[in-house]
Structure 1
């Protein structure tokens, strides 16, 4: 079933991305603030409803968590053996700012571990996807090809390309680096697109400080992991899924080549667990 599921998730992500892109290009959306002061648009809501509807049609009986829907009580969620978790627009701020750096995230989680991940970048017409144990891939208008993190010629000394947010201050992130190496910032948009940059070898790492949800990392975790990298909290411990009442993530790192001594490069700090 997994292969069939992956193909359907790819189709759903592309369909939702098409709807989002149409609204984006026509500027046919309105913006509001959620209770946590983060922005949301009508495009987020419409895409969320579309994805949830398509998932329920294709896979009846498998629950869905969406960033933009009311979340089920943990007493119910903790009983789930499998579920989907989605972020209809990862990078809503980028959508509003019209940078083009936003994406559709869909993941399938089994036994508290993401095992299928799909990320579609509508503006770039690029689809990133992975299934546990089957490798990571990028599909665009030209080709579909396997992707891998960049392998360092010298893991101890080569320059590091660090993905950096356009919307957040760089200084708190750069202060966490403890290295004499050349560090080259790569400014870009949403968390998931930063993950994809690392998965395809265009950047090497990313440190996220501040609030995110499990929907921000689930699809990325499969893609990055299958490409040879990993996502960990700031104490270099695995990110968990649906194991606590809150669906919020701790601060986290996305790391490429595992031969690089990342624990010597980033200053570890006690993670804020949920």
Structure 2
């Protein structure tokens, strides 16, 4: 990410967020992608702002959730690139609960090393650079450093990110090791950010996600002192794989 002004990336994420909010505050059209997931006008507006902006600001290629299939094949030859999700949490956007984000990550040889997660409806921004620090900004307040919290002494003291009402069998099995733990819910990549800022201890993602869903928040978690591990192997979650789907993973403090 040499010669890249990080503030430029933050400003770009905010611009994409502003474009999303213009549509969020009025009626919007919802289309279907080939996989039948909802696609809004806001996805495409943010996509164009981010892709064009990153190409103007840097020399690195860009992969977006909305990129062409050709780009999604070509990225296997990329060592360093931007990985973005223009609107993570499309369902939250359609429900108008505010829990959706703009995700911008930098991938270096299969690892997310820098990430920005911006929730425009909440006006909350998370920023992380691995090996440096993680930060959070609410509104126009100054950036403040964030970090994962210390491991609780008792299993019952854990705060776990997950659904209170729609729990899979895998999630129920996982939380059985944490009797009386507090379960909190959140949409989109904000779930990982809850661990990064010390508001939760563990986020078990025991369902499918794509690389662009997690990369930016993954970098923030690591910058805050946490880890994102594959659930079955306990190895770090990796990027730019042949298959863009992530395996199940666990987010927690080191």
Considering the TM-score relative to the shorter chain, is it more than 0.5? yes
Q: Tell me, yes or no, if the aligned pair for 2:105 and 2:215 is still in contact at 8 Å.
A: yes
Q: Once superposed, what is the RMSD of the aligned Cα atoms?
A: 1.9
State the secondary structure of the residue aligned to 1:16.
helix
Correspondence 1:19 to 2:19: yes
Q: Say whether the 8 Å CA contact 1:6–1:116 is kept in structure 2.
A: no
8 A Cα contact 1:132 1:226, kept in partner: yes
The gaps in structure 2 that reach 5 residues or longer are none
1:116 and 2:114 correspond? yes
Unaligned runs of 5+ in 1: 259-274
Offset from partner CA, 1:202-260 (integer Å, 9 cap, x none): 1111122332110011111110011111111112221111132x2111122211x33xx
Residues 157-168 of structure 1 correspond to what in structure 2 (within 5 A)?
Answer: 157=155, 159-165=157-163
Tell me the residue number matched to 1:31. 30
Specify the alignment match of 1:185 in structure 2: 183
Q: Deviations over 1:112-150 (max 9, x none)?
A: 211110000101111101112111000123231100112
- Equivalence for 1:44: 43
- Secondary structure at 2:246 match in 1: coil
- Candidates 57, 67, 74, aligned match of 1:69: 67
The offset of 1:153, in angstroms, is: 4.9
Structure 2 matches for 1:1-274, cutoff 5 A?
A: 2=2, 4-27=4-27, 29-60=28-59, 62-72=60-70, 76-141=74-139, 142-154=141-153, 156-157=154-155, 159-165=157-163, 169-172=166-169, 173-190=171-188, 192-235=189-232, 236-244=234-242, 246-255=243-252, 257-258=253-254
Q: What secondary structure is seen at the aligned counterpart in 1 of 2:174?
A: coil
In structure 2, the CA distance between the partners of 1:75 and 1:125, relative to structure 1 (3 Å rule), is closer
> Could you say if the C-alpha distance between residues 107 and 124 of structure 1 is closer, same or farther in structure 2, counting changes exceeding 3 Å?
same
For residues 30 and 161 of structure 2, what CA distance do their matches in structure 1 show? 27
The alpha carbon displacement at 1:42 in A equals 1.1
Between the aligned partners of 1:18 and 1:73, the Cα distance in structure 2 is 26
- TM-score where L is the length of structure 2: 0.92
Q: What TM-score do the two structures reach when normalised by structure 1?
A: 0.85
CA contact (8 A) 2:163 2:183 kept: no
Sort the Cα spacing of 1:95 and 1:75 in 2 relative to 1 into closer, same or farther, 3 A.
Answer: closer
